[in-house]
Structure 1
Amino acid sequence: MGVELPKNFLEFEDVRKEGFLRMKKLKEEGRSVVGTFCQYTPSELIDAAGLCEVGLCGRSAEAIPSAERDLPGNLCPLIKASYGHVLDKTCPYAFFSDLVMGETTCDGKKKMYEMLGRLKPMHVIHLPNVPDTERSLLYWRMEIEAFKEKLEESFDLKISEEAIRRAIRRGNRERRLMARLYELGRYDPPAITGLEMRSIMDGSQFIFDKEERFRKTEAKIEECEAEYRAGRGPYSGKRRPLRILISGAGLGGTEDKIIGAIERAGAAVVCYEGCCGISSRRRLIDESPDKDPILAIAEKYLEVPCAVMSPNERRMEQVRSTIDEWRIDGVISVNLHSCNPFGIEARNIGKSCEEKGVPHMKLETDFYPNDREQLKTRIEAFLELLESRKRGGKRK
């Protein structure tokens, strides 16, 4: 089957070209691709249908100018970058997606998806914003059932209950692996850097053979543990670094200027909190044979502690428990410009940190490099504060 590349393919850098060629090979093998944006995506249904799932969130500023021809300039950079890459055909994963799946986690995304639907086949799953209620779960189960029907209709297939149960087991296996990856940060000193943790987490989603993904992730975790035991971990032989928890979402376009700056200054990012944080990895889907698998999926995904949920005490509990378990010295909330739910909720994160006696700092940024030095200065000042507190014995 002949599969065409975009006309501007030769203009892309090597990494982007490799992505296009990898996806082109998959398509030529007859695989179909579903592009997704969020942790609320019920991935088990995509897996059960035998389809490839790939993340489409924008992570760079390069596509934002194109997006701003259609979208407001003061919109969240993640939304603009995601749309711009589809518009410009510069993302290999969006370019080859046969169906794009969105979710109503914020008003900006909802309206962007209306426009994206003119560029790609689109399905939007509607999220209830009140957690832990019987009505929310009933509605959410119906939405997940509707997504299953959309997959069956779009790809002319039938998703069996047994296939869903197998996919649930695979999904739980992956969650356990990713929880182990985060738990490398519990070591003292940590057995992995925060940047490497993110790199493994992000890179694994582009290994489309699940068994290969599991093997490579497990091998990397075991390598980190072995290096640590041999005294060759990333912080071996050094003074114990400050232990930082990163809170927030949409970190992909900010990693180097925030996480990189923290670690270049000598501190260690030991865990992440938020939609993709440790709690989402530890919460498994019920595999009981007498449990309705669609209901089990609905129950799990309704527990994702996104800032769009209100009230959202589960997220505050997650922050407090992570501070204790990972022995956190300081928490940094990262908020993208115009992301109001996370921006507002950072205040509650700060109150939870105050309860635990741990300093908290909020950073607001976008995908452009203009504020790199300003962020560096603020981060270094915050770390100096933490060092001073540590010397004074105010935090274990």
Structure 2
Amino acid sequence: MGEDYRLMWQELGLDLEAHDALLGVLGQAYGDIYLAQKNRPLGMSYFDFVMSEVHGLRIRELLDEKKAGRKIIGSYCVFVPEEIALAANATLVGLCSGADFAVEEVERLLPRNTCALIKSSFGFKIGKVCPYLESADMVVGENTCDGKKKAYEILGKMVENLYVMDLPQVKSEHGKGLLKAEYYRFKKAVEQLTGIAVTAESLKQAIQTVNAKRAAIHRLSALRKADPAPISGLDALLANQVFFYDNPARFTESVNKICDELEQRVEAHQGVFPERTPRILISGCPQAVPNWKLPMIIETSGAVIVGEESCVGERGTRNLTSETGSTIDEMMESLVDRYFKVDCAIFTPNSERLDHIKEMAAAYKADGVIHYGLQFCQPYLMESIPVENALEEEGIPCLRIDTDYSMEDVGQLKTRVEAFIEQLR
């Protein structure tokens, strides 16, 4: 990237040497994805461009928005409603947490046996390598788990404007009431940040904008049900990851464009893998950029990933928000209804998630499910055995993988994944 970008990064306070190292990791990891695939859809060139400019042009756009008076809000979780941010004239972006960084420094603040995702988010801050985080006027955390809840007490001393959202842990009317109260509290905080009040008109438009993003992803997901698969799981995952970074309207247009191409492939019976290639559904923890380790192993071991039951996947996008409301209160109620359906592993009871995994396995004609858990992520690791048992009752093979962001276990994981795929054959 050019010298003007380096000046931009320097103005944001990034550690340029460390940031160059991070870009090298990103470039190598994404290059491996590119080289591992054949017959990629032409529409993926847009997402290739996004990845090449993920810390360049997109950051420049966000800084230009800030100069024009718009506020940038960074988020770590799909429970933070983008609709409210957009309605108050702010931009919501996902924050970096998909790779190990500054591990030794992080472990001076957090226990070594802390979830890799939490440690990663701290590493990006301590290492000063995430321009999205440094661009944000407000950083939104959420107490989805005990690890995050306690970690935010420490992160709050490192981030200038940290807002923590309280989330329910029980699927009940009381829990839904808590989520509603928190969304109204968030709305007030965003209005104070931007100085712009949410109106019925602006909220309606924001809901329509985010619904269009999700509808585009729904269209992409539906096309992955075809055999042969018209797009690889790696490329589909990339689209789901870019969902959190890109300009909403541009993202929607780009996903629909690639779907036009994929529809032609399906009609012509063309795929990126041969017909009857073993089909895998990944379930479990979110996979943020550049966490491509497990998908890369799966799709270079003779299988194709056809769906993700993940926050960076169908769990995060599958429901749309009702557009029937005309008042702010009616639309806020619709937002609460929509987000309360997200079946994160923090909830108890959480039978809806088990049902959803089985439904996805059937809909996507998956031959097997790989449950992906990050080490020390208690909620998803605790649910992994019930998931495996529920799938076995349905006769669906399941492989449980517990790993982190390092590459040290790649050989071991590949051996296990290859054996699982051979079992599916």
SS of residue paired to 1:364: strand
Which residue number in structure 1 is paired with residue 294 of structure 2? 258
1:5 and 2:15 matched = no
CA separation of 1:250 and 1:278: change in aligned 2, threshold 3 A: closer
Q: AA paired with 2:162?
A: M
Cα deviation per residue 1:122-174 (whole Å; 9 max; x = unaligned)?
Answer: 1111111111x221122211110000011111222211122112211222221
Query: How far 1:25 sits from its partner (Å)?
Result: 3.5
Cα deviation per residue 1:82-105 (whole Å; 9 max; x = unaligned)?
Answer: 112122221010011100011110
Query: How far 1:206 sits from its partner (Å)?
Result: 2.2
Which residue number in structure 1 is paired with residue 46 of structure 2? none
Query: How far 1:116 sits from its partner (Å)?
Result: 1.5
Q: Distance in 1 between matches of 2:220 and 2:55?
A: 29
Which residue number in structure 1 is paired with residue 152 of structure 2? 113
CA separation of 1:105 and 1:17: change in aligned 2, threshold 3 A: closer
Work out which of the residue numbers 117, 129, 132 in structure 1 matches 2:169: 129
- Give the superposed CA RMSD: 2.0
Query: How far 1:10 sits from its partner (Å)?
Result: 5.8
CA contact (8 A) 2:240 2:312 kept: no
Cα deviation per residue 1:46-86 (whole Å; 9 max; x = unaligned)?
Answer: 11111111111411112333221211111001001111212
Q: Distance in 2 between matches of 1:25 and 1:178?
A: 28
CA contact (8 A) 1:34 1:98 kept: yes
Query: How far 1:232 sits from its partner (Å)?
Result: 4.0
Q: Distance in 2 between matches of 1:122 and 1:279?
A: 25
Q: AA paired with 2:306?
A: V
Cα deviation per residue 1:325-379 (whole Å; 9 max; x = unaligned)?
Answer: 1111100001001001100101111122112211111000001111000000000
CA contact (8 A) 1:63 1:80 kept: no
- The percentage of aligned residue pairs carrying the same residue is 32
CA separation of 1:277 and 1:202: change in aligned 2, threshold 3 A: closer
TM-score (norm 1): 0.91
Which residue number in structure 2 is paired with residue 138 of structure 1? 177
Work out which of the residue numbers 289, 296, 303 in structure 1 matches 2:325: 289
CA contact (8 A) 1:23 1:92 kept: no
SS of residue paired to 2:308: strand
Which residue number in structure 1 is paired with residue 398 of structure 2? 360
Which residue number in structure 1 is paired with residue 143 of structure 2? 104
Q: How does 1:1-396 map to 2 (within 5 A)?
A: 4-6=11-13, 8-9=15-16, 12-13=19-20, 17-18=55-56, 20-120=59-159, 121-131=161-171, 133-208=172-247, 210-235=248-273, 238-252=274-288, 255-289=291-325, 292-387=330-425
CA separation of 1:336 and 1:7: change in aligned 2, threshold 3 A: closer
TM-score (norm 2): 0.85
Q: Distance in 2 between matches of 1:358 and 1:7?
A: 47
Query: How far 1:302 sits from its partner (Å)?
Result: 1.2
Cα deviation per residue 1:279-336 (whole Å; 9 max; x = unaligned)?
Answer: 5433221221357111111111111110010000110110111111111110000100
Q: Which moved more, 1:303-312 or 1:82-91?
A: 82-91
Q: Distance in 2 between matches of 1:216 and 1:187?
A: 21
Which residue number in structure 1 is paired with residue 45 of structure 2? none
SS of residue paired to 2:393: helix
CA separation of 1:277 and 1:355: change in aligned 2, threshold 3 A: farther
Structure 1 portions without partners, runs of 5+: 388-396
CA separation of 1:340 and 1:362: change in aligned 2, threshold 3 A: same
Q: Which moved more, 1:10-19 or 1:246-255?
A: 10-19
Q: Which moved more, 1:199-208 or 1:363-372?
A: 199-208
Q: Distance in 2 between matches of 1:7 and 1:126?
A: 30
Q: Which moved more, 1:186-195 or 1:11-20?
A: 11-20
CA contact (8 A) 2:286 2:311 kept: no
Query: How far 1:23 sits from its partner (Å)?
Result: 3.6
CA separation of 1:368 and 1:151: change in aligned 2, threshold 3 A: same
Q: AA paired with 2:272?
A: P
- How many pairs does the alignment contain? 382
Q: Distance in 2 between matches of 1:23 and 1:65?
A: 31
Cα deviation per residue 1:236-280 (whole Å; 9 max; x = unaligned)?
Answer: xx3420111100113236843311111111211000113344254
CA separation of 1:130 and 1:57: change in aligned 2, threshold 3 A: farther
Q: Which moved more, 1:267-276 or 1:240-249?
A: 267-276
Q: AA paired with 1:182?
A: S
Q: Distance in 1 between matches of 2:413 and 2:229?
A: 24
Q: Distance in 1 between matches of 2:399 and 2:289?
A: 19
CA separation of 1:11 and 1:343: change in aligned 2, threshold 3 A: closer
Structure 2 portions without partners, runs of 5+: 1-6, 24-51
Q: Distance in 2 between matches of 1:270 and 1:278?
A: 11
